[in-house]
């Protein structure tokens, strides 16, 4: 069973969450986690001005995803930073190239799930995931979130991401905060949960 984790990460926060998602997938028997990045759309000089080159290089070993790989997966878990309450432009451009898959109904019935990051605690994490779901529904995905069975999203003793819609992390205004252990635990839970649901649908 192939679980595709497709993400974009500017400064490494979503990348770190994607790795935790993959760990969760790996806890399910016969489930293989496959990490893929969406293509970069920003030129090198812009990335340099953003201070994102080093973070991009640490992800260079992750292959860039092709749209055909979506059709070959049994489930797809998408990761995107928040951009004004929506997915980032790189992810939007990648999804806009999936019209051929839509025409074929190639993704109908597959499990789809989303995780995200934002700079601030109330920076649009939930709206990013919910608006992402619209694209998944048009493709016929069966949407899976992060149920309250993950008790970490009930915590009030620390600032933390995570909601019933999916795992998330708070990066800080300058990207200074990496995912907390609670947020990584949420990502692992989501990866395992998606793989378990996909396995049930296949069986």
- Residues annotated in a binding site: 9-14, 82-84, 102, 138
Give the C-alpha separation, 133 to 144, whole Å: 10
Distances (CA, A) of 142 to 11, 72, 161, 201: 30, 16, 23, 10
3 state SS of 52 = coil
Give the C-alpha separation, 143 to 130, whole Å: 10
Give the C-alpha separation, 127 to 85, whole Å: 5
CA angle at 92 for the pair 182 and 48, rounded to the nearest 5°? 75
CA end-to-end distance (rounded Å), the chain: 11
Rounded to the nearest 5°, which phi and psi values hold at 66? -110, 155
Residue 186 CA to its chain's centroid (Å): 12
Tokens of 170: 């708070």
Pick out the residues of the known binding site for FMN.
Answer: 9-14, 82-84, 138
Pick out the residues of the known binding site for NAD(+).
Answer: 11
Q: Which of 23, 14, 7 is nearest to 194 (CA)?
A: 23
Pick out the residues of the known binding site for substrate.
Answer: 102
């Amino acid at each position: 069973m192939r679980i595709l984790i497709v993400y974009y990460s500017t400064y490494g926060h979503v990348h770190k969450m994607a790795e935790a998602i993959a760990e969760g997938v790996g806890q399910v028997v016969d489930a293989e986690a496959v990490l893929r990045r969406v293509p970069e759309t920003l030129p090198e000089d812009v990335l340099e001005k953003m201070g994102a080159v080093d973070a991009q290089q640490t992800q260079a070993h992750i292959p860039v995803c092709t749209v055909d790989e979506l059709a070959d997966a049994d489930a797809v878990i998408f990761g995107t930073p928040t951009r004004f309450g929506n997915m980032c432009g790189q992810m939007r451009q990648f999804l806009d190239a999936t019209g051929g898959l839509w025409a074929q109904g190639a993704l109908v019935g597959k499990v789809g799930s989303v995780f995200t990051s934002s700079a601030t605690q109330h920076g649009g994490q939930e709206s990013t995931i919910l608006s992402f779901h619209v694209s998944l529904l048009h493709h016929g995905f069966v949407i899976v979130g992060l149920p309250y069975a993950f008790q970490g999203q009930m915590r009030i003793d620390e600032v933390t991401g995570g909601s019933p819609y999916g795992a998330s992390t708070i990066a800080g205004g300058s990207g200074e905060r990496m995912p907390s252990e609670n947020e990584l635990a949420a990502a692992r839970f989501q990866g395992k949960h998606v793989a378990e649901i996909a396995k049930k649908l296949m069986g």
